[in-house]
Amino acid sequence: MRTDVRRVALVGAGVIGNAWAAHLLAHGLEVAVTDPAPDAEERLLRDVERALPVLARLGLDTDGWQDRLSFTGDLGKAVEGAAFVQENAPERDDVKAAIFAELDALVPPDVVVASSSSSMLPSRLASMCARHPERVVVGHPFNPVYLVPLVEVVGSPDTPSGVVDAAMAFYAGVGKRPVHVRQEVPGHLANRLQAALWREAYSLVERGVATVADLDAAISNGPGLRWALLGPVANQHLSGGDGGLAHVLAHLGPPTQALMDDLGAPQLTPQLAETLVAGVHDELGGIDVATLAAERDALLVGLLAAKARSEVLP
């Protein structure tokens, strides 16, 4: 597979595709974007121009990006000369099938074709390619893509290790933190972990144990602060002192099991959805969403810069 990637083709100029464009441009790559929507190029330029100042605050060189970005409505022109393809089309089976069939015919067999899909399994995506299904993987990023480092790399049972290795190396080379998900499961990895937390959060609201604001405060002022630095298992290890995780599991294993057994299993009924929506509106008190997102991104920049200076955090 191609390993010296200087030009990337992005298929789809939505929120994810445009964020990928900003990220890759800030890492010095040539980026070709394609999307059939009539206003896609305008949205691409708008989103990139919004994201690049944030990336510049991380110390990345964003000069000259205009000369390295191109847009076309022609998929064939976009992938011409690309050494890596990142697909970001809507999560619809018919849309993906048409795009992957065309990519399969256009892209050389030694080029990885990765999908940003958060819900479709790589085996399903690969089945859309009659010629070279073996080079298709999921490369699922997290929003905002130009700031959050995680990319989940997932192959199908038939994906050669060299393809996964090439994708992992590409993402690491552009400043991402790739994680190899070793078996394909719905939702990949991080979304399943998020769903576990959401399930219990929704259950607690449904049972009247806490408000939405209470839940958000409990995480953002409690374990969420630690989770941004170390994952849940490593943090649990630290809580065990000299004995580490072994001590925690030996002494708190039974009550932890009892707690896990007591977790709820809510159903997202219309009534519960209304309660959650009303709760988040009450919590934010009319704060403009764009303003809130901008402040979040600014704080993320500081956090990422601080983590980069760490000598021991994994």
pTM: 0.94
DSSP structure class, residue 262? T
What pLDDT does 46 receive? 97
Helix orientation angle between 212-220 and 270-284, rounded to the nearest 10 degrees = 60
* pLDDT score, position 16: 97
The amino acid sitting at 263 is L
Spans of the chain below 50 pLDDT: none
Q: What is the pLDDT of residues 137-150, one digit of tens each?
A: 999 999 999 999 99
Q: Helices marked H in the chain — which ranges?
A: 15-26, 40-56, 65-68, 75-79, 93-106, 122-126, 161-173, 190-206, 212-220, 223-227, 232-239, 244-261, 270-284, 289-308
Cα separation of 150 and 139, whole Å? 10
Q: What is residue 165's predicted lDDT score, i.e. its pLDDT?
A: 98
**pLDDT score at 155:** 98
How crowded is residue 269: how many other Cβ atoms within 10 Å of its Cβ?
A: 10
The H or E element that residue 87 is part of is strand 84-87
What is the model's pLDDT at position 203? 98
pLDDT at residue number 275 = 97
What per-residue confidence (pLDDT) applies to 314?
87
CATH superfamily, domain 190-308, is N-(1-d-carboxylethyl)-l-norvaline Dehydrogenase; domain 2 (1.10.1040.10)
Sequence spans of domains, the chain: 7-181, 190-308
Q: Retrieve residue 196's tokens.
A: 């576990």
Q: Which of 114, 154, 156, 105 lies closest to 132 in space, CA to CA?
A: 105
What is the dotted CATH code of the domain comprising 7-181? 3.40.50.720
Compute the chain's Rg from CA coordinates: 21
Dump pLDDT digits (tens) for 2-43. Answer: 989 999 999 999 999 999 999 999 999 999 999 999 999 999
pLDDT at 23: 98
Cβ within 8 Å of residue 4, ≥6 positions away = 83
